[in-house]
């Protein structure tokens, strides 16, 4: 029975790992980050800050690399990517090379030159800010007011003046009343907006937001799969569906090849009225 218990515990440890294990360890006189030998010998002891960062008496480390110019005494890890000390803010991540068949992870350590280390703080979902700017993936993007900036859901955000979608200002939006309704629709006191990522005919994915014309903000509600309605119209991806009846319009419980919604007079598929022979 005792042997059986030991075997079970051993298998569990192999499958799930040890919850309290350290990413940094010293073996046979050498320091490792997981299975990677540190690129420089630590000065004295090494203190792990989180799973990705550590410090010795002089410098900070990201994974197995020294963060050049870092100050260990004032160094603080803010997330798995962001860190700061008294003089700099750092953004650290990894990348892979195609010529290596993407098999090897390489460290990339960047100083965020336009960030203020004294006021810099991490938000969530790879967003951060200081007293003047907001950052995503280690790069700043324009906002009207960093002090009042806060994240919403599904890539939306707001400050005291504007709403934002994927780091892009929503033109004409009112920040004070702005909020998202789902992952595509948002609203403020004056308008309804539809947001998407355009991938066709552009060099790289482009966040696009359009006002939903003629939408009534008071009665507007989101359905599913890009559909929405107010007291006068039904909308699909921000555009009104001609002839659709909002009072009777509803999603199908089971979508078919030819229809995903209906009203009292017709079926609809991807926002188009369907005609069946």
Give the pLDDT confidence score for residue 275 in this predicted structure.
Answer: 83
Give pLDDT tens digits for 110-138.
999 999 999 999 999 999 999 999 999 99
Give the pLDDT confidence score for residue 17 in this predicted structure.
Answer: 40
Structure tokens at 210: 């359009």
According to DSSP, the β-strands at 65-67 and 60-62 are: antiparallel
Q: What is the dihedral of CA 133, 176, 236, 210, to 10 degrees?
A: -50
Give the pLDDT confidence score for residue 125 in this predicted structure.
Answer: 98
Give the pLDDT confidence score for residue 21 in this predicted structure.
Answer: 82
Give pLDDT tens digits for 26-58.
999 999 999 999 999 999 899 999 999 999 999
**How sure is the predictor about 20, in pLDDT bands with cuts at 50, 70 and 90?**
low
- Give the Cα separation of 50 and 214 in Å (integer): 51
Q: Specify the pTM.
A: 0.88
Give the pLDDT confidence score for residue 4 in this predicted structure.
Answer: 39
Mean pLDDT confidence for 73-87: 99
Contact between 239 and 205 under an 8 Å Cβ cutoff? The reply is no
What is the percentage of the chain residues whose pLDDT exceeds 90? 91
Mean pLDDT confidence for 168-186: 99
Is a pLDDT exceeding 80 seen at residue 14? no
Give pLDDT tens digits for 95-114.
999 999 999 999 999 999 99
- Give the Cα separation of 82 and 67 in Å (integer): 12
Distance set, CA 203 to CA 58, 140, 187 (Å):
44, 21, 29
Give the pLDDT confidence score for residue 58 in this predicted structure.
Answer: 96
Q: Is 246 exposed, middle or buried (0-12, 13-18, 19+ CB in 10 A)?
A: middle
Give the pLDDT confidence score for residue 12 in this predicted structure.
Answer: 39
Which residues touch 175 (CB under 8 Å, ≥6 apart)? 144, 145, 148, 158, 159, 160, 161, 162, 163, 188
């Amino acid at each position: 029975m005792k042997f059986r218990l030991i075997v079970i515990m051993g298998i569990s440890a192999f499958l799930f790992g040890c919850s309290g294990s350290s990413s940094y360890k010293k073996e046979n006189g050498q320091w490792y980050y997981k299975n990677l030998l540190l690129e420089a010998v630590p000065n004295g002891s090494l203190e792990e800050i989180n799973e990705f960062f550590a410090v010795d008496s002089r410098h900070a480390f990201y994974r197995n690399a020294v963060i050049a110019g870092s100050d260990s005494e004032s160094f603080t890890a803010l997330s798995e990517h962001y860190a700061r000390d008294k003089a700099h803010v750092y953004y650290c991540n990894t990348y892979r090379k195609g010529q290596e068949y993407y098999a090897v992870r390489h460290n990339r350590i960047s100083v965020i030159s336009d960030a203020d280390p004294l006021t810099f703080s991490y938000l969530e979902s790879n967003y951060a800010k200081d007293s003047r700017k907001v950052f995503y993936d280690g790069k700043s993007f324009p906002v009207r007011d960093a002090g009042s900036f806060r994240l919403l859901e599904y890539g939306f955000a707001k400050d005291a003046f504007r709403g934002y979608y994927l780091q892009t200002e929503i033109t004409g939006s009112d920040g004070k009343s702005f909020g998202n309704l789902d992952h595509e629709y948002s609203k403020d006191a004056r308008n309804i907006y539809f947001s998407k990522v355009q991938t066709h005919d552009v060099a790289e994915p482009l966040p696009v937001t359009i006002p939903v014309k003629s939408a009534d903000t008071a009665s507007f509600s989101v359905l599913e799969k890009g559909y929405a309605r107010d007291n006068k119209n039904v909308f699909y991806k921000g555009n009104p569906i001609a002839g659709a009846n909002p009072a009777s319009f509803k999603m199908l419980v089971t979508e078919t090849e030819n229809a995903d919604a209906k009203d009292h007079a017709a079926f609809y598929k991807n926002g188009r009225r369907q005609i069946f022979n």
